[in-house]
Amino acid sequence: MSRLLVCGPCPLPFENVSRTYGTGIRTWQLAWSLAQSGHEVRLVALATDGAYGGDEKPPAHEVRERVEILRLSYAEVMDPSLLRRRIADFSPDAVVGSTIYGSFALAQCRPRLPFWADHFGDAMAEAQAKAKLEGRNWPLAHFWRFAEPALRRADRISAVSEPQRHALVGELAALGRLTAETCGYELTAVIPCGAQPTLDRPPRETLRQGRFAADDFLLLWSGTFNVWADVDTLFAAVAGAMEANPKIHLLVTGGAIEGHDEETYSRLRRLVEASPHRERFHFEGWVAAERLPLYEATANLAVLSELPIYEGMLGSKNRTVRWLAQGLPVATNRIGELAESLAREGAALTFEPGDPGGLREIILWAADHPSELREVGNRGQSIARERFTFLATTGPLIAWAEVPVRAPDAGSRERIHSPADFASARFRLGKLAHRIPFLRRSPVMRRLWRRWKNPGHD
């Protein structure tokens, strides 16, 4: 068995806080699975500013389910000298980064230990979505700053889906890591989203009593409204279904991501406020983790609507896996590996991206076919509890942790200059040359500048 230091964001899913993010679930998925497999695990949990909101922060140090947890501030984890001391104090056999933030923090330390970096979703695809929302491209450099160090240094890198794994291979190629040394060595792996279902489903009347009629059909959206959320399709479909069936309601838990995406949630609220059916949209805000199963037990159908962008095509959705594990039927658009596989197996109701009519028809069908809907939920739950538990999803990491090894190109003395290096150098040198007046006036330099900007063209 190995001694492993895991670094990743919190809050962790068992913490009874009102805002639990997918990044914290991912951290616990990795750390818990390694500990349950017999490894000695110390988790350095990174608490970003405001991570716990107004909730009481858990203890700085505790042991839970065989995982030793150290909760540190963002500044502490992102200080390489401080994090190196934490690593040295523990003397692990290997280190594991959860999400680009935990992986970035470890990469800054330049570890000489075997290093597994988990990239939970494609950072640059999310950067593109964020750039679209902002109307500016600054997120591209910001996200790449966090993604690149681990891509250069990690011995294994995990993705959340097979499409994202292929994207990782492309990124590694651009950074010059597909070399003679690494040919035949598997640099990447897939760790899908995982969920640990609660054992006891709360009684349905817990939230219905006094609020909804017994025959009301309740839809649920739970979690953040991130840059990928298609709230226009969601609203149009649900409002259209409400027009046709007065028993339909939508419960919404969660909300905006402060400092990252506050517009998407605000747009949905504006759409609802202008709707004649606004009284059947119920915005519950952020709810404590221990209360979320009550909403899942109360709802008849969970809904998910995404924009048709690379973020969804390459990624996956924690909330979908959680809904499935809880036995809650899911209506989702066919974007990404998870949705496609569920559609093939009849384990979810699916519609085309950006098609409010398709989602509307699914909602109306589901409201009129309760027994068939339960069958869909049962199939989804069976698949989730077989394939998407924490232990079932983390097999590649657990196998690597048995005998963690460095990649064949680790510590190579030869500097491999990648296409990304050349592009960056061309940009910096070209910008410098353009600022020097006598170089700008020189016909020779102008010609060289044109050739430098457009290699292969005169």
Inter-residue contact 295 to 211 (CB < 8 Å): no
At 40, phi and psi to the nearest 5?
A: -90, 115
Q: At residue 418, does pLDDT exceed 70? A: no
How many angstroms separate the CA atoms of 140 and 357, rounded? 34
Q: What is the tally of structural domains in the chain? A: 3
Residue-wise pLDDT tens digits, 123-179 = 999 999 999 988 999 999 999 999 999 999 999 999 999 999 999 999 999 999 999
298 shares its domain with 365? yes
> What are the strands, taking DSSP E only, across 192-254?
217-222, 248-253
Q: At residue 453, does pLDDT exceed 60? A: no
Residue 216 belongs to some domain of the structure: yes
What's the confidence (pLDDT) of residue 457?
Answer: 42
278 shares its domain with 324? yes
What's the confidence (pLDDT) of residue 202?
Answer: 54
Looking at residue 367, which CATH number applies to its domain?
Answer: 3.40.50.2000
Which is higher by pLDDT, 361 or 439?
A: 361
Highest mean pLDDT among 4-18, 41-55, 156-170, 290-304: 156-170
What's the confidence (pLDDT) of residue 251?
Answer: 96
159 shares its domain with 260? no
Lowest mean pLDDT among 39-53, 57-71, 154-168, 348-362: 39-53
Residue 55 belongs to some domain of the structure: yes
Question: Stretch 263-291: mean pLDDT, rounded?
Answer: 91
183 shares its domain with 319? no
Residue 414 belongs to some domain of the structure: no
Residue 226 belongs to some domain of the structure: yes
249 shares its domain with 311? yes
Question: Stretch 188-200: mean pLDDT, rounded?
Answer: 83
Residue 412 belongs to some domain of the structure: no
Give the type of residue at 330. Answer: V
Q: At residue 206, does pLDDT exceed 80? A: no
382 shares its domain with 396? no
Task: Say if residue 432 is exposed, middle or buried (CB neighbours under 10 Å; 0-12, 13-18, 19+).
Answer: exposed
Q: At residue 452, does pLDDT exceed 50? A: yes
What's the confidence (pLDDT) of residue 187?
Answer: 98
At 219, phi and psi to the nearest 5?
A: -95, 155
Question: Stretch 31-49: mean pLDDT, rounded?
Answer: 94
Residue 308 belongs to some domain of the structure: yes
Confidence of residue 458 (pLDDT cuts 50, 70, 90): very low
298 shares its domain with 368? yes
- The residue whose two tokens read 């016909």 is 443
222 shares its domain with 130? no
> Which helix (H) or strand (E) segment is 67 a member of?
strand 67-73
How many angstroms separate the CA atoms of 23 and 260, rounded? 14
**Domain around 436:** 423-453
Residue-wise pLDDT tens digits, 91-139 = 999 999 999 999 999 999 998 999 999 999 999 999 999 999 889 999 9
Lowest mean pLDDT among 111-125, 188-202, 395-409, 411-425: 411-425
Which is higher by pLDDT, 293 or 421?
A: 293
What's the confidence (pLDDT) of residue 426?
Answer: 54
Q: Which of 365, 388, 411 is the last residue of a domain?
A: 388
Confidence of residue 415 (pLDDT cuts 50, 70, 90): very low
Other CB atoms closer than 10 Å to residue 37's CB: what's the count? Answer: 19
Lowest mean pLDDT among 142-146, 226-230, 367-371, 443-447: 443-447
Residue 410 belongs to some domain of the structure: no
127 shares its domain with 267? no
381 shares its domain with 249? yes
What's the confidence (pLDDT) of residue 343?
Answer: 96
Q: At residue 413, does pLDDT exceed 50? A: no
Q: Return the percentage of the chain with pLDDT > 70, whole number.
A: 86
142 shares its domain with 235? no
Confidence of residue 289 (pLDDT cuts 50, 70, 90): confident
Question: Stretch 426-451: mean pLDDT, rounded?
Answer: 60
pTM of the model: 0.87
378 shares its domain with 259? yes
What's the confidence (pLDDT) of residue 190?
Answer: 98
What is the DSSP track for 410-452? TT-SSPPPPHHHHHHHHHHHHHHHHHSHHHHH-HHHHHHHHHH
Residue-wise pLDDT tens digits, 245-269 = 999 999 999 888 777 778 999 999 9
Residue 409 belongs to some domain of the structure: no
